[in-house]
Amino acid sequence: MKVLVAVKRVVDFNVKIRVKPDGSGLDLAGVKMSMNPFDEIAVEEAVRLKEQGVASEVIAVSCGSAACQETLRSALALGADRAMLVETDVELEPLAVAKLLASIAEREQPQMIILGKQAIDDDCNQVGQMLAALTAMPQATFVSKVTVNDRHATVTREVDGGLETLRLRLPAVITTDLRLNEPRYATLPNIMKAKKKPLDVLTPAELGIDVTPRLALLKLAEPPRRSAGIRVPDVATLLEKLKNEAKVI
């Protein structure tokens, strides 16, 4: 079966971001960008399905600026067979991405689509669910285990209070949680090979999708800073402070 995996280029998770003083956006000049960590897990899972002989082809897709080609090359170096970029400079909202991916799914007819549960930049946690809705596929979000057999997938989800197991009719959409797997590193020979793998570039217009944002960003602000606290020398002082100063116990 064919597996589609969606990847997003985001500010690296280790970067401490800064809001521009005028509140118009983030200061991203010279900031390190990487593949969204949940998407690395998604690619890893797709590649493992291929290694198990379950998947026949893994297609990595990204939506955004030309620079996303880099992210797609990383996915190819990790084991994806080919890549597609839907190129646009419009700031894409989850609904737009879901529509673009639905349109690609329509063309490619994958049996499984794997996405990260959320992107660490907008922290939305929406695209997988929206894509499932638009393609009328079943969904399993926050997945920590996947087994595929013939026409179904059995998945374990991380939910509040524990775990649940679902059986999904294929084709299906799955979003990855942290504990699904440990993504591999790309080796140098695979990075070199990835440069030769096919990468198609499309536009939203070619797919017939309107990607105009629905939400207006009025302002971006730094969160309120916590005032610096104090160090206490021992347990007795800590207890005294919690009882009499903070009055929380």
Partner 1 sequence: MTAPTKVLVIAEHDHVSLKKATRHAVTAALACGSDVHVLVAGHGAEGVALEASRLSGVSHVLHADGPALADHLAENLSTQVLALAHSYSHVLFPATSNGKNVAPRVAALLDVAQISDIISVIDAQTFERPIYAGNAIATVRSGDKVKIITVRTSAFDAVDAEGGAASIERMVTVDDSGLSTLMGREVARSERPELASARIVVSGGRALGSSEKFLDVLTPLADKLNAALGASRAAVDAGYAPNDWQVGQTGKIVAPQLYIACGISGAIQHQAGMKDSKVIVAINKDPEAPIFEIADYGLEADLFDVVPQLAAAL
- Judged by CB under 8 A, the chain residues 141 through 200 that form the site for partner 1 are 141-142, 144, 154, 157-169, 172, 177-179
> Residue 158 belongs to what H/E stretch?
strand 152-159
CA distance 83 to 227: 47
234 binds partner 1 (CB under 8 A): yes
CA distance 68 to 50: 24
Stretch that binds partner 1, among 1-9, 52-60, 82-90, 134-142 (CB under 8 A): 134-142
Q: What are phi and psi of 50, to 5 degrees?
A: -70, -45
Locus of tokens 């690619």:
43
Using the rule CB under 8 A, which residue among 1, 11, 186, 207 binds partner 1?
A: 11
Q: Least Å distance between CB 27 and partner 1?
A: 11
Using the rule CB under 8 A, which residue among 31, 66, 67, 124 binds partner 1?
A: 124
Residues 32-51 that bind partner 1 (CB under 8 A): 38
Using the rule CB under 8 A, which residue among 134, 186, 191, 207 binds partner 1?
A: 134
140 binds partner 1 (CB under 8 A): yes
Q: Least Å distance between CB 36 and partner 1?
A: 11
Mutual orientation of helices 68-78 and 37-51 as an angle, nearest 10°?
A: 30
Contact assessment for residue 2 and residue 109, using Cβ atoms and an 8 Å cutoff: yes
216 binds partner 1 (CB under 8 A): yes
Q: Decide whether 132 or 199 has the Cβ nearer to partner 1.
A: 132
Residues 44-103 that bind partner 1 (CB under 8 A): 93-95, 98
CA distance 196 to 185: 19
CB-based contacts of 11-14 (< 8 A; 24+ apart in sequence) = 11/120, 11/121, 13/37, 13/120
CA distance 84 to 104: 9
Q: Decide whether 188 or 221 has the Cβ nearer to partner 1.
A: 221
- Other C-beta atoms within 10 Å of 28: how many? 14
User: Of 84, 9, 3, which is closest to residue 44 (Cα–Cα)?
Assistant: 3
208 binds partner 1 (CB under 8 A): no
Q: What is the CA radius of gyration of the chain?
A: 21
Using the rule CB under 8 A, which residue among 1, 33, 90, 120 binds partner 1?
A: 120
220 binds partner 1 (CB under 8 A): yes
Q: Decide whether 9 or 117 has the Cβ nearer to partner 1.
A: 117
Q: Least Å distance between CB 179 and partner 1?
A: 6
Q: Least Å distance between CB 45 and partner 1?
A: 17
Q: Decide whether 189 or 223 has the Cβ nearer to partner 1.
A: 223
Residue 180 carries which DSSP code?
G
Q: Least Å distance between CB 227 and partner 1?
A: 8
**What distance separates the 2 farthest-apart alpha carbons in the chain?**
69
